Structure 1
Amino acid sequence: FIIAHLNARKPAAQAAVAATFANLCLLLHLSTSSGCEAKKIALIHALVSSCSPENLGIQIDLSEQAIFYILQGIVTLLWGDKPTVDYACQLSLNLIITKLKDATSEEKSKEISRSIERMILV
Protein backbone atom coordinates (compact mmCIF):
# COMPACT_ATOMS: atom_id res chain seq x y z
CA PHE A 1 0.00 0.00 0.00
CA ILE A 2 1.09 3.53 -0.70
CA ILE A 3 0.15 4.50 2.86
CA ALA A 4 3.25 2.67 4.09
CA HIS A 5 5.30 5.56 2.64
CA LEU A 6 3.87 8.12 5.06
CA ASN A 7 7.14 8.05 6.97
CA ALA A 8 8.91 9.89 4.13
CA ARG A 9 11.08 12.70 5.43
CA LYS A 10 10.08 15.31 2.86
CA PRO A 11 6.79 17.13 3.52
CA ALA A 12 5.96 17.13 -0.21
CA ALA A 13 6.31 13.33 -0.34
CA GLN A 14 4.14 12.96 2.76
CA ALA A 15 1.48 15.19 1.21
CA ALA A 16 1.58 13.23 -2.05
CA VAL A 17 1.09 9.92 -0.23
CA ALA A 18 -1.69 11.36 1.91
CA ALA A 19 -3.44 12.92 -1.12
CA THR A 20 -3.30 9.57 -2.90
CA PHE A 21 -4.83 7.95 0.19
CA ALA A 22 -7.61 10.57 0.26
CA ASN A 23 -8.36 10.06 -3.44
CA LEU A 24 -8.48 6.29 -3.02
CA CYS A 25 -10.88 6.73 -0.10
CA LEU A 26 -13.13 8.89 -2.28
CA LEU A 27 -13.10 6.33 -5.08
CA LEU A 28 -14.06 3.57 -2.65
CA HIS A 29 -16.76 5.74 -1.11
CA LEU A 30 -18.31 6.45 -4.50
CA SER A 31 -17.98 2.91 -5.82
CA THR A 32 -21.01 0.66 -5.81
CA SER A 33 -19.19 -2.50 -6.85
CA SER A 34 -19.13 -5.54 -4.63
CA GLY A 35 -16.03 -6.02 -2.55
CA CYS A 36 -15.67 -2.35 -1.67
CA GLU A 37 -16.33 -3.02 2.01
CA ALA A 38 -13.38 -5.41 2.15
CA LYS A 39 -11.18 -2.84 0.40
CA LYS A 40 -12.25 -0.12 2.84
CA ILE A 41 -11.46 -2.37 5.79
CA ALA A 42 -8.07 -3.25 4.28
CA LEU A 43 -7.33 0.44 3.81
CA ILE A 44 -8.24 1.25 7.42
CA HIS A 45 -6.04 -1.63 8.58
CA ALA A 46 -3.12 -0.38 6.45
CA LEU A 47 -3.53 3.13 7.84
CA VAL A 48 -3.60 1.96 11.46
CA SER A 49 -0.54 -0.22 10.85
CA SER A 50 1.34 2.60 9.12
CA CYS A 51 0.52 5.11 11.85
CA SER A 52 1.55 2.82 14.68
CA PRO A 53 4.22 4.07 17.11
CA GLU A 54 6.65 1.52 15.61
CA ASN A 55 6.35 3.16 12.18
CA LEU A 56 5.84 6.85 12.93
CA GLY A 57 7.26 7.07 16.43
CA ILE A 58 5.58 8.25 19.59
CA GLN A 59 4.84 11.66 18.09
CA ILE A 60 3.45 12.02 14.60
CA ASP A 61 5.88 14.00 12.48
CA LEU A 62 3.80 14.71 9.39
CA SER A 63 3.27 17.92 7.46
CA GLU A 64 0.08 19.89 8.05
CA GLN A 65 -1.03 19.13 4.51
CA ALA A 66 -0.44 15.38 4.95
CA ILE A 67 -2.43 15.36 8.19
CA PHE A 68 -5.30 17.18 6.49
CA TYR A 69 -5.41 14.72 3.58
CA ILE A 70 -5.24 11.70 5.89
CA LEU A 71 -8.11 12.99 8.01
CA GLN A 72 -10.09 13.91 4.90
CA GLY A 73 -9.60 10.39 3.57
CA ILE A 74 -10.62 8.77 6.84
CA VAL A 75 -13.82 10.80 7.19
CA THR A 76 -14.71 9.97 3.58
CA LEU A 77 -14.04 6.28 4.12
CA LEU A 78 -16.13 6.09 7.29
CA TRP A 79 -19.01 8.31 6.16
CA GLY A 80 -22.24 6.33 6.32
CA ASP A 81 -20.51 2.94 6.42
CA LYS A 82 -21.34 1.22 9.71
CA PRO A 83 -19.22 -1.94 9.14
CA THR A 84 -16.14 0.16 8.37
CA VAL A 85 -16.79 2.39 11.39
CA ASP A 86 -17.16 -0.70 13.59
CA TYR A 87 -13.89 -2.10 12.28
CA ALA A 88 -12.15 1.24 12.84
CA CYS A 89 -13.35 1.13 16.45
CA GLN A 90 -11.97 -2.39 16.89
CA LEU A 91 -8.57 -1.20 15.67
CA SER A 92 -8.62 1.80 18.04
CA LEU A 93 -8.50 4.30 15.19
CA ASN A 94 -9.54 6.92 17.74
CA LEU A 95 -6.01 6.84 19.21
CA ILE A 96 -4.51 7.73 15.85
CA ILE A 97 -7.12 10.43 15.28
CA THR A 98 -6.21 11.96 18.64
CA LYS A 99 -2.51 11.88 17.74
CA LEU A 100 -3.19 13.52 14.38
CA LYS A 101 -5.36 16.18 16.00
CA ASP A 102 -2.62 16.91 18.54
CA ALA A 103 0.02 17.09 15.79
CA THR A 104 -1.73 19.82 13.81
CA SER A 105 -2.41 23.47 14.43
CA GLU A 106 -4.77 23.78 11.46
CA GLU A 107 -8.36 24.32 12.56
CA LYS A 108 -9.80 22.63 9.46
CA SER A 109 -7.90 19.44 10.34
CA LYS A 110 -9.05 19.63 13.94
CA GLU A 111 -12.67 20.00 12.76
CA ILE A 112 -12.39 16.88 10.61
CA SER A 113 -10.82 14.94 13.48
CA ARG A 114 -13.68 15.94 15.76
CA SER A 115 -16.17 14.71 13.13
CA ILE A 116 -14.35 11.39 12.96
CA GLU A 117 -14.32 11.10 16.74
CA ARG A 118 -18.08 11.65 16.80
CA MET A 119 -18.58 8.94 14.17
CA ILE A 120 -16.41 6.46 16.05
CA LEU A 121 -17.87 7.17 19.48
CA VAL A 122 -21.52 6.84 18.41
Structure 2
Amino acid sequence: MNGSPAALMRVNLLEVFNEPDPDRRAAVIAENYAEDVVWHEPDRVNHGRTGFVRRATELLAENPDWVFRPAGPASELDDIGHLGFQWGPSDGRLPMISGMDIARTSDGVIIELYTIITEIRSE
Protein backbone atom coordinates (compact mmCIF):
# COMPACT_ATOMS: atom_id res chain seq x y z
CA MET A 1 0.00 0.00 0.00
CA ASN A 2 2.72 2.49 1.02
CA GLY A 3 0.91 5.78 1.23
CA SER A 4 0.66 9.22 2.68
CA PRO A 5 0.89 9.67 6.45
CA ALA A 6 -2.92 10.15 6.68
CA ALA A 7 -3.57 7.02 4.61
CA LEU A 8 -1.14 5.05 6.77
CA MET A 9 -3.00 6.16 9.90
CA ARG A 10 -6.26 4.75 8.53
CA VAL A 11 -4.51 1.50 7.58
CA ASN A 12 -2.97 1.31 11.06
CA LEU A 13 -6.32 1.64 12.81
CA LEU A 14 -8.69 -0.20 10.50
CA GLU A 15 -6.60 -2.81 8.68
CA VAL A 16 -4.27 -3.76 11.53
CA PHE A 17 -6.11 -3.25 14.80
CA ASN A 18 -9.54 -4.24 13.48
CA GLU A 19 -8.27 -7.23 11.49
CA PRO A 20 -9.15 -10.53 13.19
CA ASP A 21 -7.21 -12.71 10.73
CA PRO A 22 -3.59 -12.96 11.92
CA ASP A 23 -2.18 -13.71 8.45
CA ARG A 24 -3.90 -10.70 6.83
CA ARG A 25 -2.86 -8.50 9.78
CA ALA A 26 0.79 -9.62 9.46
CA ALA A 27 0.72 -8.97 5.70
CA VAL A 28 -0.60 -5.42 6.20
CA ILE A 29 2.09 -4.80 8.83
CA ALA A 30 4.81 -6.11 6.50
CA GLU A 31 3.65 -3.75 3.74
CA ASN A 32 3.04 -0.59 5.76
CA TYR A 33 5.63 -0.55 8.57
CA ALA A 34 9.42 -0.38 8.48
CA GLU A 35 11.26 -3.56 9.48
CA ASP A 36 12.66 -1.72 12.52
CA VAL A 37 9.41 0.11 13.43
CA VAL A 38 9.15 1.29 17.03
CA TRP A 39 5.72 1.44 18.69
CA HIS A 40 5.43 3.44 21.92
CA GLU A 41 2.45 2.53 24.13
CA PRO A 42 1.71 4.10 27.51
CA ASP A 43 3.17 1.09 29.35
CA ARG A 44 5.71 -0.41 26.92
CA VAL A 45 7.79 0.03 23.80
CA ASN A 46 7.60 -2.57 21.01
CA HIS A 47 10.51 -2.98 18.60
CA GLY A 48 10.45 -4.30 15.03
CA ARG A 49 7.71 -5.80 12.91
CA THR A 50 7.84 -9.07 14.83
CA GLY A 51 7.23 -7.26 18.12
CA PHE A 52 4.51 -5.19 16.47
CA VAL A 53 2.70 -8.29 15.16
CA ARG A 54 2.99 -9.98 18.57
CA ARG A 55 1.66 -7.00 20.52
CA ALA A 56 -1.19 -6.30 18.08
CA THR A 57 -2.25 -9.95 18.44
CA GLU A 58 -2.14 -9.68 22.25
CA LEU A 59 -4.14 -6.45 22.24
CA LEU A 60 -6.87 -7.92 20.03
CA ALA A 61 -7.05 -11.05 22.21
CA GLU A 62 -7.54 -8.98 25.38
CA ASN A 63 -10.98 -7.78 24.23
CA PRO A 64 -12.01 -9.84 21.19
CA ASP A 65 -15.46 -8.23 20.89
CA TRP A 66 -14.05 -4.67 20.87
CA VAL A 67 -13.46 -2.57 17.75
CA PHE A 68 -11.53 0.56 16.93
CA ARG A 69 -13.38 3.52 15.43
CA PRO A 70 -11.81 6.67 14.02
CA ALA A 71 -12.56 9.81 16.03
CA GLY A 72 -12.52 12.29 13.19
CA PRO A 73 -10.43 12.34 10.03
CA ALA A 74 -6.78 11.38 9.77
CA SER A 75 -4.45 14.35 9.41
CA GLU A 76 -0.86 14.87 8.36
CA LEU A 77 1.91 17.41 8.41
CA ASP A 78 5.06 16.66 6.44
CA ASP A 79 6.03 13.10 7.47
CA ILE A 80 3.76 12.96 10.57
CA GLY A 81 0.31 11.35 10.60
CA HIS A 82 -2.36 11.57 13.31
CA LEU A 83 -5.67 9.84 13.93
CA GLY A 84 -7.87 9.92 17.03
CA PHE A 85 -9.67 6.73 17.96
CA GLN A 86 -12.23 5.15 20.24
CA TRP A 87 -11.91 1.51 21.29
CA GLY A 88 -14.73 -0.40 22.91
CA PRO A 89 -17.43 -3.04 22.51
CA SER A 90 -18.70 -3.43 18.96
CA ASP A 91 -22.25 -2.59 20.09
CA GLY A 92 -21.13 0.85 21.32
CA ARG A 93 -21.69 0.16 25.04
CA LEU A 94 -19.23 1.32 27.68
CA PRO A 95 -16.43 0.88 28.60
CA MET A 96 -14.76 2.97 25.92
CA ILE A 97 -11.16 4.04 25.58
CA SER A 98 -10.33 7.20 23.63
CA GLY A 99 -6.92 8.14 22.38
CA MET A 100 -4.79 8.99 19.41
CA ASP A 101 -2.05 7.49 17.29
CA ILE A 102 0.71 9.70 15.97
CA ALA A 103 3.23 8.28 13.50
CA ARG A 104 6.44 9.31 11.85
CA THR A 105 6.69 7.99 8.32
CA SER A 106 9.41 7.67 5.73
CA ASP A 107 9.24 6.43 2.14
CA GLY A 108 5.55 5.54 2.50
CA VAL A 109 5.79 3.39 5.64
CA ILE A 110 5.42 3.97 9.37
CA ILE A 111 8.78 4.08 11.14
CA GLU A 112 7.62 5.13 14.60
CA LEU A 113 4.17 5.01 16.21
CA TYR A 114 3.01 6.66 19.45
CA THR A 115 -0.29 5.59 21.06
CA ILE A 116 -1.67 8.05 23.61
CA ILE A 117 -4.71 7.28 25.76
CA THR A 118 -6.72 10.40 26.55
CA GLU A 119 -9.81 9.03 28.32
CA ILE A 120 -11.21 5.80 29.77
CA ARG A 121 -14.98 5.81 30.29
CA SER A 122 -16.82 3.03 32.10
CA GLU A 123 -20.37 2.31 33.19
Same structural fold, with TM-score higher than 0.5 when normalized by the shorter chain = no
Higher helix share: 1
